[in-house]
Amino acid sequence: MHILPAIDLLEGKAVRLHQGRYDQVTVYHPDPVALAAELRGKTPLLHLVDLEGAREGKPVQEALVRAIIQAFGPGVEVGGGVRSAETAEAYLALGADRVVLGTAAIDDEDLVRRLAHAHPGRVVVALDAKDGLVATKGWLETSSRSALEVAQGLAGAPLFAILYTDIARDGTGAGPNIPATAALAREGGFPVIASGGVGSLDHLRALACIPGVIGAIVGRALYERAFSLEEALAAAAPIPYPPSRG
């Protein structure tokens, strides 16, 4: 299972939200570019989110995203406000390995399919659940569909993975929603990247035991030194990084 350190951008800083709330922000690093440079070479993957873009529905911090991609190198996946083909193509052109679409999976399934077929293995669909239903528009609105329902509706699309987050656990360190993550990996039809609530090495070990879970996103626990990146990589028993191109 891969470990993906998370850099969430808000007002030019690396932050974490508590349960997806923009009014509960903790700043963890004032210079996200320097943070990305520190992570370079230590792990092959980085999860990058433009939180302002997610809220506004369009990229807000493109210059900062570009600088972070350059600082980290290959292996960056970018999300937050990716709701058009133009935005997705622009991020891929900047050097992102993958783009993450969330709201678009609910609002424009056709877009997700077109992008996935145009860029096989370079599209991730983020399904963020609030009380079992997928939240959209930066987690500010809730749809009427479950994560499993949305994933199954995308059957046949050459996605890289589904990124699943239980919003109630995000940023809490209380542990990921193991049953829901396992059910999605078992029945959704796609590999799953788990997110939300990882606070200990045992949480990572539990996720690594779930068939079909290929990655885990870790943010607050790393920043608050609950464990080191090296310890996380060892707990997850990393698998070889698959090339995203070619």
Tens-digit pLDDT profile for residues 199-225: 999 999 999 999 999 999 999 999 999
Residue 200 lies in a domain: yes
Name the catalytic one among 50, 97, 128, 166: 128
Residue 15 lies in a domain: yes
pLDDT number for residue 107: 86
Count: domains in the chain: 1
Using N-to-C axis directions, what is the helix angle for 62-72 and 85-94, rounded to 10°?
Answer: 40
Q: Which domain holds residue 107?
A: 2-236
Report the candidate in 58, 68, 57 with the shortest Cα–Cα distance to residue 9: 68
Q: Where are the alpha helices (DSSP H) in 73-168?
A: 85-94, 103-107, 109-118, 147-153
Residue 72 lies in a domain: yes
243 confidence band (pLDDT: 50, 70, 90): very low
Residue with the two structure tokens 């951008």: 9
The answer to whether residue 23 is catalytic is no
Q: Please, is 56 exposed, middle or buried when counting C-beta atoms within 10 Å of its C-beta (0-12, 13-18, 19+)?
A: middle
- Give the CATH number, domain containing residue 203: 3.20.20.70
pLDDT, mean of residues 23-44: 93
Whole-model pTM: value is: 0.90
Residue with the two structure tokens 């350190």: 5
244 confidence band (pLDDT: 50, 70, 90): very low
The answer to whether residue 107 is catalytic is no
pLDDT, mean of residues 138-165: 88
Residue 242 lies in a domain: no
Q: What is the C-alpha to C-alpha distance for residues 172 and 184, in angstroms, rounded to an integer?
A: 21
pLDDT number for residue 140: 65
Of the two residues 242 and 176, the one the predictor is more confident about is: 176
pLDDT surpassing 80 at residue 185: yes
Q: What is the C-alpha to C-alpha distance for residues 31 and 34, in angstroms, rounded to an integer?
A: 5
pLDDT surpassing 90 at residue 129: no
pLDDT number for residue 178: 94
Residue 241 lies in a domain: no
Name the catalytic one among 8, 97, 166, 170: 8
Q: What is the C-alpha to C-alpha distance for residues 128 and 147, in angstroms, rounded to an integer?
A: 7
